[in-house]
Amino acid sequence: MAGMIGRKVGMTQVYNQDDVLVPVTLIEAGPCAVVQVREEARDGYRAVRVGFRDVKAERLNRPDRGLFAKSGISPRRILREFRMTVDETYKVGDVIDVGMFEVGDRVDVTGTSKGKGFAGVVRRHHFRGGSKSHGQSDRERAPGSVGSSSYPSRVFKGLRMAGRMGGCRVTDKGLSVVRIDKERNLLFVKGAVPGARDGYLLIRKAG
């Protein structure tokens, strides 16, 4: 189903409907303008392309400038596409805001996780490490054997090893909407969401 683009504001605590204190993430969700509509007959699938956050036209490339000129909408910094269900209909110029959600809804939030730099297997994959017994005092944070003995005598692709950690696309699913502030376009989502403050997020209804 169609979703919207947001910006991570930060974290705080609020009381829910049962007067229980819960940790929440504040997300500036929209408003997002519908810039383009994909149709089954023309494009082979149904989707809606939305824009978020105003930007000067000279900061966009020529195809995007042409897209906004054709749609008659002021240029937007972030453009993302969301698939539409059969019963959803949008047209160019429509505005999607936090009104599409209600308190108690479950949402899937997608963002780019914080980059942690190069990390070893203990931190990156939660390896236990080796023991200090039998005279090996320098293997406490080592990955151990990786070559799978004389057969197949090679390292398999995808083997968990040290490397760059974070900075990848992550989706947290089934997060609860605790509160909605329509005047400030704020969505209060229970728990943490991927990414650092001011990072952009994609928000969809779960399922």
Q: Looking at domain 1-29+99-115+167-207, which CATH architecture does it have?
A: Beta Barrel (2.40)
| pLDDT reported for residue 120 | 95
Please report, in tens digits, the pLDDT of each residue of the chain (207 residues total).
Answer: 678 999 999 999 998 878 889 999 999 997 999 998 888 888 888 899 999 988 898 899 998 899 888 888 889 998 999 998 877 788 888 888 898 888 889 999 999 999 999 999 999 999 998 888 888 888 889 998 888 788 888 899 999 999 999 999 999 999 999 999 989 999 999 999 999 999 999 999 987
Pick from 3, 4, 8: nearest CA to 199: 8
Beta strands in the chain (DSSP E): 4-15, 21-29, 32-38, 47-54, 76-83, 95-96, 106-112, 117-119, 163-165, 169-181, 186-190, 200-205
3-state helix, strand, coil in the chain (%, to 5): 10, 40, 50
Q: What is the pLDDT of residue 99?
A: 87
Nearest to 48 by CA among 89, 78, 108, 7: 89
The CATH-assigned architecture of domain 32-96 is 2-Layer Sandwich (3.30)
Give the closest residue to 203 by CA, choosing from 64, 14, 31, 57.
31
**pLDDT at position 207:** 77
Task: Read off the tokens for 183.
Answer: 């005047």
For the chain, the domains span: 1-29+99-115+167-207, 32-96, 117-132+139-165
Structure tokens at 58: 């000279």
How far is 95 from 196, CA to CA, in rounded Å?
26
Residue labelled with tokens 């080796």 = 130
pLDDT for 84 equals: 85
* pLDDT for position 169: 95
pLDDT at 1: 61
What six digits make up the tokens of 15?
């009381």
> Looking at residue 18, what is its pLDDT?
84
Decide: residue 169, CB within 10 A, 0-12 exposed, 13-18 middle, 19+ buried: exposed
Q: pTM (2 decimals)?
A: 0.83
Written as one letter, the residue type at 182 is K
